[in-house]
Each structure stands twice: as C-alpha cells, then as structure tokens.
A and B are shown apart, each in its own frame.
Chain A
Amino acid sequence: MSVVEEPGIALAARGVSISFNGFRAVDEVDLTVRQGGVHAVIGPNGAGKSTLFNLITGELRATGGTVTLCGTDITGRNPARIARLGLSRAFQITNIFPNFTVQESLELAVNAAKRHTLRFLPFRAADVPDEVDRVLEIVGLTPHRGRLAKELSHGDQRALEVALALALRPEVLLLDEPTAGMAPSETGRITDLIRDLVDKTDVTVLFCEHDVPMVFGVSDYITVMHQGKVLVEGTPEQIRGNEEVREVYLGVDEE
C-alpha cells in the first residue's frame, strides 16, 4: 500500500493498530502532523497515546497500518533507524544516563547525531561543544551542565530528556507526556520551551499529554483519542467546544 507524498506533512500514520493478547490497544488510528507546527494527542488514561507513540518510534511493532516520516515509510523499522531518519523522542518515564553529567549526556547525543560514535581516537570535534551549548541554552540547563544526571531535580531531568531528543536536530520531535510528574508551576517551562522551539527552529513537535489545559495554550492542532481510537480532531477552539470530548473526560472523572 503506497502512501501519497503530500508536501507539508511531516509525519503521517494510516490505519495503525496493535493488539495485545486480543486486546486492541490502538485501533486503526490515522494521524497527520503538519510540518512546523505543534500537534497534540490527548485522551484519558489508557486511551492508547503512549502505545501509539511507541508504535511510531519503533519501540513496538504494529500489527497493521503504516507510518511515514516526510514521505519515507518507517513502519516496522527499529528505533535507532527511525531516530537517524529524523524522528527523535523524549520518553514519558525519564530515560536518561544516570551516571553521566548533563554535559556528557549531550555530548553523546550530539556525537550520535553527527555519526561520530565510531571514532576511536580521543579527539573532540570542534563543533560539538558549540552544539552542546546551544541545546543547553534552549532547555535552560546551562547552569547545571556539570551535574550528574541522577542528581538533577525532576523538572531538570525532564528538561534533559527533551534536550537529548533535541540534540539529534530532528525533523519531528516527539514528546511523550513531557510534563509527567511535574507540579503545575513547573509546566510553564515546558510550554515555553515548545513554543520557543517551533518559533525559532523549523522542527515539528508532536506530543501527548494528560494535562489538558496546558495543551490548549500551545498546540496548533489536537487529536483526541479514546479507547484506542481517534475520537475527534481539530483546532483547540473546535476541541474545546466539542461535546463528545467533554463527555469522555467528564465521564472518566466521575468514576
């Protein structure tokens, strides 16, 4: 099944599904992410958001459907390959290198991005430190560059999580619940970061979130998932006024 290459589409999923022991966690999901924008996926717990993301980045293998990245088919490829093709992700559960310093972690990511990992001589390439500085600046971790990753505060660790993905200079940046575990006062940092990224660079951001109000402030387009399927899609205004969405969220709250 060939996918028509549409200009301006950074990431497209068509009919993506996965089942676990007969349970359809993701059911025929279509997702179209426009280049240069911020696209959010929301839905109550268990809606399948993280699973969908894992399918897109190759951590899980879909049982049906296709995923394309800027026109290239990435269905069923392994995560490393997909990352090299331009889709990088930050994880929901902080997944960093605990005993590396912030500086070292980013150096590694930049080296990976520049395909320097097979250099066997202990020389540091000239542009690496600058690149590391750039990313540290964007996420606001410059003062913490010498600290061990495991000793950072939770909010800083989330920032490092995003920084690692950013260091790859991806076409599409995928953030899996970036504000997970953060206090409401801290989430502004992430929203500012996302807005900054999209304004200053040409990266496309796709993220999923549980914290709905934050999503409305920063997204260009929202997909709502429920029980593995896409419920409705639209701009933040359209979603805000949507009856079904309110039901789904209110219904879940009342349980």
Chain B
Amino acid sequence: MKLDKRTLDLGLLPVILVAVGVVLVLITPLVKANVVLTLQLGTLYVLFAVATNLLLGQTGLLSFGQAVFFGVGAYTVTIGSTVAGWPFWLTVIAAIAIPGILSALIGALSLRARKFYFGLITLAFSQLFFTLSRQFYDLTGGDTGMFGVDLPKWLVRPADSFRLTVVVVIVCVIALWFVTRSPFGQTLRAIKENRQRAQALGIDVYRHEWIAFVIAGSFTGVAGLLFAIGQQAAYPTLLDWQTSGIPLFMALIGGMNSFWGPIVGAVVFHFGRQGLVTYTSHWQLFFGLLILVVVLFAPNGIAGAVESIRRRIAKRRFLKEKP
C-alpha cells in the first residue's frame, strides 16, 4: 500500500481557538464565581452548536432531536454519580458512550426518513425522552430533575470545572474542525450540495449521514456531560424540542454555512440571552423578535454577512482595477 504524502490544510482556526482558550484559563481567577458559571455554560454551548452544525450546515440534515444526547449526557453524570454510585471516571466514559450508542440507534432509524420527515422523527425522539425522564422519577427525579453531582475534589469549584470545560471544548472543536477538513467532511458537504450526484459517484449516502449523526451525537453528549459537571444538575427540559432548537438558533445566528459561524452564534446567543434576562423578565419576547429579524432578513447569519461584505470589497477592488 502506497504511503500517503501528508499535506495539512488547516488554517488559523485551531491557533485562534487555543489562544482564546489560554486567555480564558488565565483570567479565571479574576472573575466572580457566578460569572464563571455563565462562562462555563456559554463555552459548552459552543460545542453543542458546532456538533449540531456538523449535521445542519455540513450535511444538510435538520435534526430537531440533538437535545436527547445533550440531556442523556447530563443525566448519565447525575444518575451515575448519585443513584448508581459509580466512580467518576466511569460516569465520564458512560456519559460519552451512552449518547454515542443512542445516536447510532436513533440515527439508523431516523435517517431512513427523508428530508424534513427526518426532522420530525428526531423531534418525536426528543419529546419521547423528555416524557420518559419525567416519568421515571425514581431514577431521574421526575419533573424537578436532579441536583448535585458527586464530583472529585479537583472539580468542585466553578473555576476548576470551567477550566476543564474550556480545555475539553477546544479539543473537541478542533477535532470537529479536522473532521470537516477531511475527505469525510468534504463528502458530507457534497451530500448537502447534491445528494443524488453524490450517490451517482458511488458514495453510500445513508452510511455517511449515519456516521455524521453518531459523531454529532457523541460530541453533543460531551457537551451534556460538561453541563452536569459545571451546573451540577440535570432536568427534563434539557431533553425537549425547545432545547433541541437552541443549537439550531445558534447555528443560524452565527451562520450555518461556515464552521466558525456556530461558535460566534453560540456566544452571541448565550451572552445575549443572559444580558436580556438581567434587564427584563420578558427576554422571550425580545429574543423571539430578534430571531424573527435574523431569520427573515439575514438567514445566512453573521458569517454570511461577513462573507458578503468580503465579496463586495473584492468586487469593488476588481472593478477599480479595470481600465
């Protein structure tokens, strides 16, 4: 077998991410505890959004059920460390493995449905798990959820869980970036551009979509795991369709057609919402209106706006150079 010559084509993104991560880790001691909690949440939302966008922006799959893996990741940690009494390392492994296995099963079933029926079936799964979590209160604490996670000593303070979150999220996002730049990532984009043509090129579309779904589900599970560690809670609404909608909003605001869009979208969404919440109890109203404006007038999000500005500048420059 021929050895491949390796040529990496990875751009600045990993560097920027690591730099941001280093800054965040360093400034942690300077920040108040409740602000750290908010930062922690925002950071894991970045992972949630990027993982979901692997399906939405990369492959063209609209999944309204990513909350299942998020919530299951969180619940695995809370259940594992309290009711089941597992050692911490086992809960972590389980919190990645269980969403992963679940995504393999749910994906295999859901991907048989085409286009928007796929969205509906994932939505049904989301609501199913939401309902189940409320039902089995012996295991899950029912409607109120579970609070309190048995964390090892080095993770107890918010600052510690935040630092862990930053490191894990950056590693995961870079991993997802690698996947996006790989032949597999290119294949996903091709499937999104023209599914039929991809088939005609010999690509097993179902299989590729399924793998993407499992990858997205697993990384979303990690985001849920981080949620449980940092916020030390898990509750039913983490599983419902409205939570599934959150990463979709983030991807839309930031721009789903680029990799970094969801990152920006997650930051804008989370901190925007936090800001609104502190100023008014009617944040839902303003938020809804904002989403409407973005959806109707700027559906390509921030990244899309940046791209069109860049193009306009390039065109102007080109026109200026003409005799």
Q: Does A235 contact B (CB under 8 A)?
A: no
Check B199 against A79 for contact (C-beta < 8 Å).
yes
Most-contacted residue by chain A among B9, B182, B202 (CB, 10 A): B202
B6 adjacent to A123 (CB under 8 Å): yes
A112–B201 touching, CB < 8 Å = yes
How many chain-A residues does the 8 Å CB contact rule pick out? 40
B37 to chain A, nearest CB (A): 34
Contact of B184 among A98, A113, A117, A124 (CB under 8 A): A117
Q: Within B169-196, which residues are at the interface with A (CB < 8 Å)?
A: 178-179, 181-187, 189-190, 193-194, 196
A127 to B182, CA, bound (A): 16
Whole-angstrom distance from the CB of B217 to the nearest CB of chain A? Answer: 16
Contact B194–A97 (Cβ < 8 Å): yes
Tell me whether B7 is interfacial, beta carbon within 8 Å.
Answer: yes
Determine if A111 and B187 form an interchain contact, defined as CB atoms under 8 angstroms apart: yes
**Is A89 at the interface (CB under 8 A from chain B)?**
yes
Closest to B7 in A: A124
A233 to chain B, nearest CB (A): 27
Q: Please report the C-alpha to C-alpha distance between residue A107 and residue B199 in the assembled complex, in whole angstroms.
A: 16
Asked if B193 and A117 sit within 8 Å, CB to CB, the answer is no
In the assembled complex, how far is the CB of residue B39 from the closest CB belonging to chain A, in whole angstroms? Answer: 30
Minimum distance in angstroms from A159 CB to a CB of chain B:
15
In-complex Cβ contact of B186 among A78, A111, A121, A126 (8 A) = A111
State the interface size on chain B (CB cutoff 8 A).
34
Q: Given A96-B197, A111-B187, A168–B202 Cβ distance below 8 Å?
A: yes
Query: Which residues from 260 to 305 on chain B have a C-beta closer than 8 Å to any C-beta of chain A?
Result: none
Check B5 for interface membership: any CB of A closer than 8 A: yes
Q: Identify which of A108, A124, A126, A164 contacts B187 (C-beta below 8 A).
A: A108
**Measured between alpha carbons, how far is A224 from B196 in the docked complex, in Å?**
28
> Are B193 and A95 neighbours in the complex by a CB distance under 8 Å?
no
At the interface with chain B, which of A80-88, A180-188, A243-251? A80-88
Closest to B257 in A: A99
Of B5, B183, B184, B196, the residue contacting A95 (CB under 8 A) is: B196
The answer to whether A221 has its CB under 8 Å from any CB of chain B is no
> Does A116 touch B at the CB level, under 8 Å?
yes
Q: Does B205 interact with chain A (Cβ within 8 Å)?
A: yes
Chain B, residue nearest A125 (CB): B4
User: Could you tell me which residues of chain A, from 84 to 136, have a CB within 8 Å of some CB in chain B?
Assistant: 84, 88-89, 91, 95-100, 104, 107-109, 111-113, 116-127
CA distance A36 to B213 in the complex (A): 42
The answer to whether the Cβ of B134 comes within 8 Å of any Cβ in the partner chain is no
* Residue of B with least CB distance to A105: B190
Q: How far is the CA of A108 from the CA of B202 in the complex (A)?
A: 11
Q: 8 Å CB contacts to B: which residues of A145-192? A: 164-165, 167-168
Which residues of A sit under 8 angstroms from B194, Cβ to Cβ? 95-98
Say yes or no: is B203 at the interface (Cβ < 8 Å to chain A). Answer: yes
Partner of A83, one of B7, B178, B200: B200
For the complex, is A204 an interface residue (Cβ under 8 Å from B)?
no
Residues of A within 8 A of B182 (CB): 119-123
| Docked pose: A78 CA to B195 CA in angstroms | 13
| A223 interface residue per 8 A CB criterion | no
Contact B201 A168 (CB under 8 A): yes
Q: Are B199 and A80 in contact (CB under 8 A)?
A: yes
Task: Tell whether, in the assembled complex, residue B9 and residue A124 are in contact, meaning their CB atoms are under 8 Å apart.
Answer: yes
Contact of A123 with B184 at beta-carbon distance under 8 Å, contacts A98-B193, A112-B202, A113-B202 already known? no
A121-B178 in contact given A97-B194, A100-B190, A112-B187 (Cβ < 8 Å): yes
Smallest CB separation, A246 vs chain B (Å): 35
Q: Which of A59, A88, A97, A120 contacts B190 (CB 8 A)?
A: A97
Task: Establish whether residues A112 and B179, one from each chain, have CB atoms under 8 Å apart when the complex forms.
Answer: no
Within 8 A of A (CB), among B1-55: 2-10
Known: A84-B202, A116-B183, A120-B182. A100 touches B197 (CB 8 A): no
Does A108 contact B204, Cβ atoms closer than 8 Å?
A: no
Q: Is B211 an interface residue (CB 8 A)?
A: yes
- Do B187 and A117 touch (CB < 8 A)? yes
Complex contact B193–A97 (CB within 8 A): yes
CA distance A96 to B193 in the complex (A): 8
The 8 A-B residue pairs whose C-beta atoms are closest, nearest first, are A83-B202, A122-B181, A126-B5, A84-B202, A97-B193, A117-B187, A112-B201, A125-B4
A residues engaging B (CB < 8 A)? Answer: 57, 59, 78-81, 83-84, 88-89, 91, 95-100, 104, 107-109, 111-113, 116-127, 164-165, 167-168
Identify 13 new A-B residue pairs, CB closer than 8 A, beyond the known A104-B186, A123-B7.
Answer: A95-B197, A97-B190, A97-B193, A100-B193, A112-B187, A112-B201, A118-B211, A122-B8, A122-B178, A123-B8, A123-B182, A124-B4, A125-B5
Between-chain CB contacts (< 8 Å), 22 pairs: A57-B200, A79-B200, A80-B199, A80-B202, A83-B201, A89-B200, A96-B194, A98-B193, A111-B186, A112-B201, A117-B203, A118-B208, A118-B211, A119-B182, A120-B182, A120-B184, A121-B182, A122-B9, A123-B7, A124-B4, A125-B5, A165-B200
